[in-house]
Structure 1
Amino acid sequence: MMALVIVVFTALNRQFLDIANLVNIGSQSSILLIIALPMTFVILTEGIDVSAGAVAAASSVALGCVIQAGANSAVGIVTAIGVGALFGLVNGSLISWLRLPPFVVTLGTMGMAQGLALILSGGQSITDIGTTIPALYNGSIFGIPAPLIFAAAAYLLNHVLMYRSRVGIYARAIGGNPEALRFAGISARAWLIGVYTFAGAMFGIGAVLLTARMSTAHPTASLGLEFDAIAAVIVGGTSFEKGKGGLPGTLLGVLTIGMLRNGLDLVGVPSSVQVSCIGVLVLLALFVEGWKTQS
């Protein structure tokens, strides 16, 4: 699918494969990658988190409010990550201990987070966030744009957790064989709470980078990010059943969606139609997955 996107948009616009545009795609995709990576862990547990965009919005507004109140940028960043982790903890606790459906729980916390963002901001953008936060997105190190560095660091962290620690093993087991964990004396509930809490913290980090990109904290700017994140995970081949999937696929899914959005922008397609195109991409991925399973 990525190859198809590259061929189509290169034919439509020769600037698509310019180095500057490819770097732009990578920078624009960095926030989505930070959201999609932990979403992979969540989906591997046979769960889902539709509150990601709203939690990122609440985290962004919390960051803006703290800085506006006179705190330094470091406190604001910690606050954003803490707000995200708190929502993740609530999600995980309700899903694990009360055995409630993940979709229903995260749908509820999505409303709570969105309401909190609107209340704290008064429905308006918070623009007085200083210069340190915007520099996190606009800066560079040795000529490498800062968003690419943050994206690489996020992938490295998630890769270590997935493939070099018990987190990835247990996340797959929760989705694929939770009875094995129980017989091994491991608390699947505690690890499930940990997965959702980690995801929430990562959503907070994504909110920091989104705030830096916009140079403002907006209560609705990140709404819809959960759709792109879940789409990237699905396009990347992670299944909602039996803990099948992984982070390399999610990375390719994020880049495919980033290229699709960028290519559609280059040819002048409205953003509303772009969402529909991503939906078609997801359905195509599900069709291919179903065909592979049956064959």
Structure 2
Amino acid sequence: MREAATFAQSTPLQRIPGVALVLVILIAVFSAIAPGFLSIANLSNVLVQSTILMMLALPMTLIIMTEGLDLSMGAVLTLTSLVVAIVSLASGSMLLGLGAAVLVGFAFGTLNGWLVAIVGIPPFVATLGTLGMAQGLSLIVSDGQSVVGIPPSVSNIYSAVVLGVPVPVVMALATYAFFHLLLYHTRFGTYIFALGGNREALKYAGLSPNRLLIAVYAIGGTMAGIAGLLMTARMNSGHPTAGLGLEFDAIAAVAVGGTSFERGNGWLLGTVLGVIAVGVLRNGLNLMALPSSVQVASVGVLVIIALFLDGIRSRS
């Protein structure tokens, strides 16, 4: 009901075309110039490789809807990936590794929320600081080296399947289902819209915007902890720079998907389309053997083009 009343009646029809048009153009271009792009194996690979980004971009959507930002998410992902590797290697238990990573991610997310909501530091500055903290801790706990020899219970997750569906895709679908339910079918979701659109109304209702804001950032950190398990499984190791830069892709996916950086306007399905667009772009450039520097620049161009198309549509 809230999805229809609060957002779906106006925004989806305005934002789908911009995201979808960019995605169609990317698929058409890479189908023509990148050998093997349209193969079933490669398209499946795009989905699997986009799962980690999906698990970061969905909570990033909520954070941006509160007029916030989390620049630390990639560094926290790196740290939690190392925690998974170190703890699971020491204990032989994947669950202990995941539990430790979730706790670390939750702690960083809560710290981000506390710095923004209670201390009053702007989100850009606060999360830039925690980015440095997480990156430094990653170098300390790993001594700057990859953590190898992780148990099969971790490494096999990335290649495992459930009813023919890769486990990473199952995790991504479960993540979307959780955030869809949270944002559109709970009171907390209504509060998230209000945090960006009408924070004063929360105060009049006797609610604490600061506590809600901390909770939103804590959810983001927790998801980085869960995604750390997939990152470790994907690389078959923990690496001190594995997730750096993924916060840029997550923010780009949210922006391409049509979420506004002001007034609480956000749409989860748009974020999913944005994630797929970024995944298709990076995969196509990989098939063309272009360097990572070109890929990063191309993601930036993608954001500008998508926002430009949405701007044209909104003025028409």
Give the TM-score range, shorter chain: over 0.9
1:78 aligns with one of 87, 94, 99: 99
Q: What does the per-residue CA deviation read over 1:147-173, in whole Å, with 9 as the maximum and x for residues that have no partner?
A: 111111111111111111122211111
Question: Counterpart in 1 of 2:275?
Answer: 254
Could you tell me which residue of structure 1 aligns to residue 231 of structure 2? 210
2:165 pairs with 1:144: yes
Q: Which one of the candidate residues 180, 186, 200 is aligned to 1:179?
A: 200
- Matched letter for residue 280 of structure 1: V
Q: Following TM superposition, by how much is the alpha carbon of 1:59 offset from its aligned partner in structure 2, in angstroms?
A: 0.8
Alpha-carbon distance, 1:14 to partner:
5.3
Report the counterpart of residue 153 of structure 1 in structure 2: 174
Q: Is 1:58 aligned with 2:79?
A: yes
**1:23 aligned onto 2:11:** no
How many aligned residue pairs are there? Answer: 295
How far the C-alpha of 1:286 sits from its partner, in A, is 2.6
8 Å CA contact 2:92–2:151 kept in 1: the answer is no
CA distance in 1, matches of 2:146, 2:73: 19
CA distance in 2, matches of 1:7, 1:72: 44
- Greater mean alpha carbon deviation, residues 45-54 or residues 282-291: 282-291
Q: Which residue of 2 aligns with 1:195?
A: 216
Q: Runs of at least 4 residues of structure 1 off by over 2 A?
A: 67-71, 285-295
Query: Any stretches of 5+ residues in structure 1 without a counterpart?
Result: none
1:111 aligns with 2:137: no
| C-alpha contact (below 8 Å) 2:232/2:238 kept by paired residues | yes
Aligned partner letter, 2:165:
I
Among 269, 284, 287, which residue is 2:305 paired with?
284
Task: Give structure 2 stretches of 5+ with no counterpart.
Answer: 1-21
C-alpha distance after superposition, 1:204-236 (max 9, x if no partner)? 111110101111011111100000000000000
Distance in 2, matches of 1:154 and 1:245, equals: 17
User: 2: distance between equivalents of 1:217 and 1:158?
Assistant: 27
TM-score, with normalisation over the residues of structure 2? 0.91
Aligned residue type for 2:60:
M
Alpha-carbon distance, 1:118 to partner:
0.6
Identify the residue that residue 149 of structure 2 maps to in structure 1.
128
3-state SS in 2 of match to 1:17: coil
- The CA distance in 2 between the partners of 1:236 and 1:277, in whole Å, is 16
Residue 34 of structure 2: aligned partner: 13
Identity of aligned residues (%): 51
* CA distance in structure 1 between the partners assigned to 2:91 and 2:38 by the alignment: 44
CA contact (8 A) 2:93 2:153 kept: no
Contact 2:106 2:219 in 1 (8 A): yes
CA–CA distance in structure 2, aligned partners of residues 148 and 105 of structure 1 = 32
CA distance in 1, matches of 2:206, 2:314: 33
Q: Report the CA distance between 1:18 and its aligned residue.
A: 1.6
* TM-score, with length taken from structure 1: 0.97
Q: In angstroms, what is the RMSD of aligned CA positions?
A: 1.2
Q: Is 1:43–2:81 an aligned residue pair?
A: no
